[in-house]
Amino acid sequence: MVVEVTGFSIFALKDRFIELLLAPVNYSEMLWIAVPLILALFLTEIYFSRYKQEELGWNSAYGNALVLLFVSVDIFRYLFNNNMLENMTTKLAIALAVTIMAILLTLINFLHILPENLAYGLSSKLPVNFLAYIALILVYSDIPADFMTFIASVGILVLFAAAIILLRKLIPVSIEEVEY
């Protein structure tokens, strides 16, 4: 029995989930930006797992926002190189939305507009890199930006968060922190 609600099925969701995960492999031109994003996410998590006393600061939050800005520039480069800037399309709307979010986050962090906890939460590696990753997939691939993609993206976010939690448990704390 397949659970289906107005064209929505668990099997279609599973297929979209896998399609999103494999998009960088299937659309290899995005590998040049997607791989550094994913590596930066997990390497940063390894660092903060080892040095638990260290916290995200304004400078890190600002740097993370700049990463989103660099990704938006890459998205516009891709759209320009593929003659996709002439008409308002979903891909162009995604590029504009990511750019606006990147500029707003950069300004928020540069000017310390929001309370630290809120700004740090919005600008931490996982939300910034995840947003950048999904935007890259939606622009570089033929995967539609629909409800099924949104739900599958939430599943990927949960998967990434679970991987980070597991990573945090596996990484030993530094000797300095144990003595501290």
Cα–Cα distance list, 46 to 131, 156, 161 (Å): 20, 19, 13
pLDDT value for 52: 79
31 has a pLDDT exceeding 60: yes
Beta bridge partners of 9: 4
* Sequence ranges of the domains in the chain: 34-45+57-148+155-175
Positive or negative: CA dihedral 83, 86, 89, 90: positive
Q: Return all residues near 140 (Cβ < 8 A) that are at least 6 apart.
A: 23, 27, 29, 30, 78
Q: Could you tell me which residue, 5 or 107, shows the higher pLDDT?
A: 107
pLDDT tens, 36-47? 998 988 888 888
pLDDT band at 2 (very low <50, low <70, confident <90, very high): very low
3 has a pLDDT exceeding 60: no
Q: Could you tell me which residue, 113 or 179, shows the higher pLDDT?
A: 113
> Angle formed by the axes of helices 10-26 and 31-50, to 10°?
100
pLDDT tens, 52-62? 788 778 999 99
pLDDT band at 177 (very low <50, low <70, confident <90, very high): low
- How many Cβ atoms are within 10 Å of 121's Cβ, its own excluded? 14
What is the pTM assigned to this prediction? Answer: 0.86
pLDDT value for 1: 42
Mean pLDDT of 91-109: 97
32 has a pLDDT exceeding 60: yes
**167 burial via Cβ count (<10 Å: 0-12, 13-18, 19+):** middle
